[in-house]
Amino acid sequence: MTAFTVRVPDETAAKLDQLAEKLDRSRSYMAAQAIEDFIAREEWQLAEIEAGLAEADRGEFASAESLAAVVAKYVKRPS
């Protein structure tokens, strides 16, 4: 396991300490969990973006009709 220092504003450190105390965890555990969660979310998002770009590179786009159907579900027409 690797250890390193991260600088955060005093307010952030105080909030982290409060959370750690409420959850009966250490500051280190909470910070490591936050970093792991961030990495997982960013990896997922980048993978989705890359998959979308690969689809676009292959010319796989929604048809105008398909797009219109999706928009119609969420946009109200003026009465």
Answer whether residue 79 is part of any domain: no
| Number of domains forming the structure of the chain | 1
Tens digits of pLDDT across the chain (79 residues): 899 899 999 999 999 999 999 999 999 999 999 999 999 999 999 999 999 999 999 999 888 999 999 999 999 877 7
Which pLDDT does position 62 carry in this prediction? 87
Which pLDDT does position 29 carry in this prediction? 96
Answer whether residue 31 is part of any domain: yes
- Closest alpha carbon to 31 in 19, 47, 43, 46: 19
Please count the other Cβ atoms lying within 10 Å of the Cβ belonging to residue 68.
12
Answer whether residue 16 is part of any domain: yes
Which pLDDT does position 46 carry in this prediction? 98
Answer whether residue 26 is part of any domain: yes
Answer whether residue 65 is part of any domain: yes
Note the residue count of the chain. 79
Domain of 32, in residue numbers? 10-74
Which pLDDT does position 61 carry in this prediction? 86
- Closest alpha carbon to 29 in 39, 17, 40: 17
